[in-house]
Chains A and B, each alone.
Chain A
Amino acid sequence: MKKFMLIDDDEIFVFLTKKTILKVSADVEVQVFADGQQAISHLQCIAGHTNLFPDAIFLDLNMPVMDGWEFLDEYQKLEDFPFNEVPLYIVSSSISPYEMDRSAGIPVVTEFIIKPLVKEKFLEILENL
């Protein structure tokens, strides 16, 4: 079973994206975090357990408490960074070139996906894993 972390505060988007993902593959677990802080806490917990590692991370940028950028800062600072093999996709409603440029400069970011996360895109990601 594949595990995906979905970090996004927009409940309706989370509901719809989960639905999309499950439509493509039933053999998938979607773990939802409403902000960067909660996601970081989770990642810190599982850092020692490779069997619990997510297969991919989907990260929104605009979130309360700890936004996507702050998350990326903290994420890269994780001790002995164990998540090198985990692809991280920014999934944002932003179409700002500034944010895309900024994300391009961050090595842990695999790709910048503009919302919505459509079936075809998810399928492609799944096949690349």
Chain B
Amino acid sequence: MINPSPTPDQANTPAILHLLGIIDAEPEEEFDNIVRLACLLTTAQAATLTFINQDRNLCKSATGIDIINLEIADQQLSSYSSIYREPIKFHGNLLLGHLTVAFIQPTDLTTGQMEGLRLLSRQLVNLLQMRLPVVNRSVRDFYESILNNIPTDIVVFDTEHRYLFANPGAIKDEELRKFIIGKDDFEYAVYRKRDPAIAIERRAQFQEVKDTGNTISWEENQKTAEGNTITYLRRMFPVHDGQGRLVMVIGFGIDITERKELENKQHKIMEQLGVQHKQSIDFCNVVSHNLRGPLINLGMLAEFIRESVDPGEQQLLISKMEPVIDNLKSTFNELVESIQVREETDLKMDELNLNACLSETVRSLFDELKKAGGNIHADFSGAPVLYCPQKYLSSIFHNLITNAIHYHSPDRPLSIKLSTQTKKNTVVLTVQDNGQGIDLLKHKHNIFKIGKVFHRRPGAKGLGLFMTKTQVEAIGGTIWVDSEPDHGAIFSIEFVNQSFGAL
């Protein structure tokens, strides 16, 4: 809070005189002139201007008389025959002092002269009031230092979008700040040899504020010299006078980078939570289908066995239990594994030779590959080494190659091509097959989802690609697919942070 500027009242009369710079000041020409005018007007021999200073009158100015002691000037005038004192009243009622004219011979003032004295007295008051801003200089300094030091950009425009004021937050350089007053953004752009695009944008915003009388606000990004992005929240609003006329437009901007970063973080977290929520619903559905399903079957089988009296039928029913139990076991294991992947946070990155790892997978799938007439071609020259947990890469290879085998086209021998490319510090692994492909128009959003199966194949549970995606994402990577029905599929996986090996 600022202390309000002193309001003159009887109690602090001397104070206001001090503040007005009257007391203890050197003689001032403007007061001397008024005293001389009073003399000329009334043809008096002497005139004084005195102000009340505590209980005495202090002479500020005198003419026609040598003032020996400023505080007893009135006494010096007592030898004159006629004396007229015109009070000097501030705000109509506050007596500040007197304008006095003195005559050696007894003299009457004409009404005109008296009126003239009154006018001079009023003029004196005006003169004093003019000094008020001087009084308020400390207040002005105070406001100015706020405007100049506040970590906010503040600019004020006249009604034609010319700058009336810019604080150092808006324009740091003092020279530029002086330059811009009275000019507009276009002139500024020319002066600084800058693209006028911003000036055009600002003019449109200004026009909107001027036309609608509304406040507008927007967010704006700026790059610093260091390449960081700073986000500003900017506002422009009109200021109207009592009659509703536009007086000026104020623009200000505050740095909301930190808030923006938090907002972005929060947004990302919300997104992640949304995805996780969706995943956990999917997961529950799959658990409910893939685990509850077989359990229900087992329950029904048990009931039929109990009710059956035919030993042959009983045997048939018992034989049907085995695949259900196997199914249950493998589903259970896969679900547990996928939960474990998501729980694993401290993953150890192994330095893996892609060829060696692939060979191992191919060995384990040898029989199935042979059955499908499969042929694998790998070219890892683009990036022979990958940083990834060993078991993930094995699992990724295993899932993608198993998929290619399961969904190979009956019309042609299976061919699988694998390759790697290095991009900056990432490695992209692609696995391309010539199989049945997937209709991405229909299944684009479901392809990596848990429990989604796109072809008629007994035993398919829709866990493979879900698992692969889970593993890829656990190490910060991404997986995507390009495919057309009957034209095979290309799975691409981007592994991040691959450059540290080269350092």
Chain A contact residues, CB within 8 Å of chain B: 10-13, 15-16, 19-20, 34-35, 61-65, 67, 92-96, 98-99, 115-116
A65–B455 touching, CB < 8 Å: yes
Contact of B456 among A65, A67, A96 (CB under 8 A): A65
List the A residue with the shortest CB-CB distance to B462. Answer: A64
How far apart are A65's CB and chain B's nearest CB, in angstroms? 6
Q: Contact residues of B with A, CB < 8 Å? A: 281, 284-286, 288-289, 292-293, 296-297, 299-301, 304, 320, 323-324, 451-458, 460, 462
Q: How far is the CA of A34 from the CA of B459 in the complex (A)?
A: 13
Find chain B residues with CB under 8 A from A12 CB. Answer: 297, 301, 320, 323-324
Q: State whether A96 touches B296 (Cβ < 8 A).
A: no
- Find chain A residues with CB under 8 A from B293 CB: 10, 13, 62, 93, 115
Q: Take A15-B320, A62-B451, A64-B455 as given contacts and tell me if A98 and B292 are in contact as well, using a CB distance cutoff of 8 Å.
A: no
Known: A92-B289, A96-B281, A116-B296. 4 other contacts (CB 8 A): A95-B288, A96-B284, A99-B285, A115-B292
Give the residue of A13, A16, A61, A63 whose beta carbon is less than 8 angstroms from that of B304. Answer: A16
**Contact A13:B292 (CB < 8 A) given known A19-B304, A98-B281, A99-B285:** no
Asked if A116 and B453 sit within 8 Å, CB to CB, the answer is no
| Distance between A126 CB and nearest chain B CB, rounded to angstroms | 19
CB distance from A19 to the nearest CB of B (A): 7
Q: What's the least CB distance linking B293 to chain A, in Å?
A: 4
Give Cα distance in the complex from A95 to B456, angstroms.
Answer: 25
What is the distance, in angstroms, from A41's C-beta to the closest C-beta of chain B?
13
CB-based contact B453/A64 at 8 Å: yes
Contacts of A62 in B (CB 8 A): 285-286, 289, 293, 451
Instruction: Chain A residues near B289: list those with CB within 8 A.
Output: 61-62, 92-94
Contact yes or no, B454 A64, CB < 8 A: yes
Contact at A65–B453, with CB atoms within 8 Å?
yes
Q: When the two chains form their complex, are residues B458 and A11 in contact, meaning their CB atoms are under 8 A apart? A: yes
In this complex, what residue of B is CB-closest to A64? B453
The answer for the CA separation of A65 and B458 in the assembled complex, in Å, is 12
Residues of B within 8 A of A116 (CB): 296, 299-300
Q: Chain B CB within 10 Å — which of A63, A93, A94, A96 has the most?
A: A93
Q: Is the CB of A34 within 8 A of B456?
A: yes
When chains A and B are docked, how far (Å) is the Cα of A63 from the Cα of B458?
11
A-side contacts of B288, CB under 8 Å: 93-96
With CB as the reference atom, state the residue of chain B lying closest to A67: B452
Contacts of A16 in B (CB 8 A): 297, 300-301, 304
Let me know if A64 and B300 touch, CB within 8 A. Answer: no
A65 to B457, CA, bound (A): 10
| A-B contact list, 16 entries, CB within 8 Å | A13-B297, A15-B320, A16-B297, A16-B301, A35-B456, A64-B460, A65-B455, A93-B288, A93-B289, A94-B285, A94-B289, A95-B288, A95-B292, A96-B284, A98-B285, A115-B296
A8 CB, min distance to chain B CBs, angstroms: 10
Closest chain B residue to A12 by CB distance? B297
B292 CB, nearest partner CB in chain A, Å: 4
| Cβ contacts under 8 Å, B286 to chain A | 62
B296 touches A64 (CB 8 A): no
Is A64 within 8 A of B457, CB to CB? yes
